[in-house]
């Protein structure tokens, strides 16, 4: 059941101290291929990102995001000195905003508008990418899936703003 927007908890959940920032963008051109880093991308309403394998109407998973602040935690849990964002198979790395706060909310990146739909749980491929225990290293740090409500373009450095 949705929270009453006037409740104290709803007000706390709606308060964000600042906008986030896009740190990295990646596309998966096809199944089982390495992610390709890009400086800008076009989001298609009701679909996905141009150049990404999920571009054809993936609904609530049109884009996947992960927090930059979680990368060191995942690396430590997987016993890696650091991690390339492409290993984690998420489209966008953002910093400065708690992604969980965007679940079931609309937000803007560049000229595109998104709606956070669900947490982005890790897949079994994390064992191959990160080694034994990679799946569990990602649990609780997998990020957010979102649908594309209004298409547009966004770039590295663009703000991530709750609406």
Q: pLDDT at position 61, please?
A: 78
Is 76 among the domain residues?
yes
Is 6 among the domain residues?
no
Is 162 among the domain residues?
no
Is 163 among the domain residues?
no
DSSP string, 118-152: EE----THHHHHH-TTHHHHHTT---EEEEEEE-E
Q: What is the pTM of this model?
A: 0.90
Is 4 among the domain residues?
no
Domain count, the chain: 1
Which CATH number goes with the domain that contains 47? Answer: 2.40.33.20
Candidates 114, 130, 112, 110; CA nearest to 122 is: 130
Reported as a single tens digit per residue, the pLDDT across 62-117 is 899 999 999 999 999 999 999 999 999 999 999 999 999 999 999 999 999 999 99
Is 69 among the domain residues?
yes
User: Structural domain of residue 119, as residue ranges?
Assistant: 18-157
């Amino acid at each position: 059941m949705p929270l009453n927007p006037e409740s104290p908890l709803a007000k706390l959940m709606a308060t964000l101290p600042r906008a986030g920032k896009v740190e990295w963008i990646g596309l998966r051109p096809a199944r089982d291929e390495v992610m390709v880093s890009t400086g800008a991308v076009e989001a298609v309403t009701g679909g996905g990102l141009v150049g990404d394998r999920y571009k054809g109407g993936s609904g609530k998973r049109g884009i996947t995001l992960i927090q930059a602040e979680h990368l060191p935690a995942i690396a430590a849990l997987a016993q890696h000195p650091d991690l390339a964002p492409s290993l984690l198979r998420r489209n966008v790395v953002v910093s400065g905003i708690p992604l969980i706060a965007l679940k079931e909310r609309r937000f803007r990146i560049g000229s595109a508008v998104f709606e956070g739909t669900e947490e982005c749980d890790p897949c079994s491929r994390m064992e191959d990418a990160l080694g034994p225990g990679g799946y569990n290293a990602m649990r609780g740090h997998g990020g957010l899936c979102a649908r594309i409500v209004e298409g547009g373009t966004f770039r590295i450095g663009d703000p991530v703003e709750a609406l």
